[in-house]
Structures are given as C-alpha cells and as structure tokens.
C-alpha cells in the first residue's frame, strides 16, 4: 500500500489536473470579463459583504483609499459597482454591486458549478457514492481545523 505522503501527492496531482481541464473552457464568463485580478477581488468582496464604505473596502483589499478610488471609478464606468451616500452619515460613500455586477459574479460562480454538475453526471451511481463519501471526509477534516490533521 502506498504511503500517506504518496497518496496525498497523488490526490493533489489529480486535483491540479482537474482544475486545468475545467479551466480550459474559454466560454467561462471569467475569461470574457476583461477584469483585472484586483477588480475581480473587489467584486467578490462586495458579493460577499454587500454594501460597504470605501474605507472598509480599502481595508479588505489592503490598499489605500486613493488607490481604491481609481479602481472603483473604472468599475463604475463598466456599470459593475455603484457609489451611494450612506443614509446615516452623508460624508461616507458606500460601494455596492450593481445588477450587472451581481449578474457577472453570479455567472462566474455558477459556471464552475454547472461544469462540475455536468462532470459528475458522467459518473455511475456507485462512483458518485464514493465521491460523496470522500467529499464528506474532506469537509470533516477541514471543519476540525488545521491542528487536528497533523500526522
């Protein structure tokens, strides 16, 4: 039987190959969006946190407010985000996804989900049961935290 380290290496290699195969699909909305990595990161943070102040978003991204302003300006021009006055403090500008921004992020997230569903549909019921069991084990290990997996 292979060692634990060899099995982990095999699994990691297989996961990398799966990611490569899925990423080859150029129909993915991520490839047609023309977003920079920083812009995508901002959109994903807004999708997760909703409307946030400019200073909050700058802190999340790890950049200064001045640098963020230019990035937000470009996203506003693309109709992906909007700025609005904070109803409780007129000095604060809140930033949120527009409908177009929500649709784009949703399509990026859902593209991977649709690809995975199509891939899984090619497996037999027995194979799906094995994948489900393995996935459950990986989730349990992740939920247990990093300190419990040392061996």
Alpha-carbon span 136 to 95, nearest angstrom: 37
pLDDT digits (tens, 9 = 90+) for 9-57: 999 999 999 888 877 766 667 666 788 889 999 999 999 999 999 999 9
Task: Give residue 87's region: left, alpha or beta (phi > 0; psi -120 to 50).
Answer: alpha
Q: How many helices (H) and strands (E) does the chain have?
A: 7, 3
| Mean pLDDT along residues 92-117 | 88
Alpha-carbon span 78 to 99, nearest angstrom: 12
Q: What is the pTM of this model?
A: 0.64
**Is pLDDT of 1 > 90?**
no
Alpha-carbon span 89 to 26, nearest angstrom: 44
Averaged confidence pLDDT in the chain: 88
């Amino acid at each position: 039987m292979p060692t634990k380290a060899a099995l982990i290496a095999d699994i990691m290699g297989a996961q990398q190959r799966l990611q490569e195969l899925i990423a080859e699909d150029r129909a993915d909305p991520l490839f047609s969006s023309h977003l920079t990595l920083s812009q995508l990161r901002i959109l994903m943070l807004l999708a997760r946190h909703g409307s946030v102040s400019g200073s909050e978003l700058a802190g999340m991204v790890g950049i200064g407010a001045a640098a963020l302003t230019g990035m937000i300006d470009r996203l506003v021009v693309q109709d992906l985000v909007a700025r609005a006055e904070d109803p409780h403090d007129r000095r604060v500008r809140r930033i949120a996804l527009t409908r177009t921004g929500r649709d784009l992020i949703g399509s990026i997230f859902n593209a991977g989900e649709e690809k995975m569903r199509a891939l899984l549909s090619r497996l037999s019921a027995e194979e799906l049961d094995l994948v489900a069991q393995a996935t459950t084990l990986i989730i349990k290990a992740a939920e247990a935290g990093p300190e419990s997996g040392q061996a």
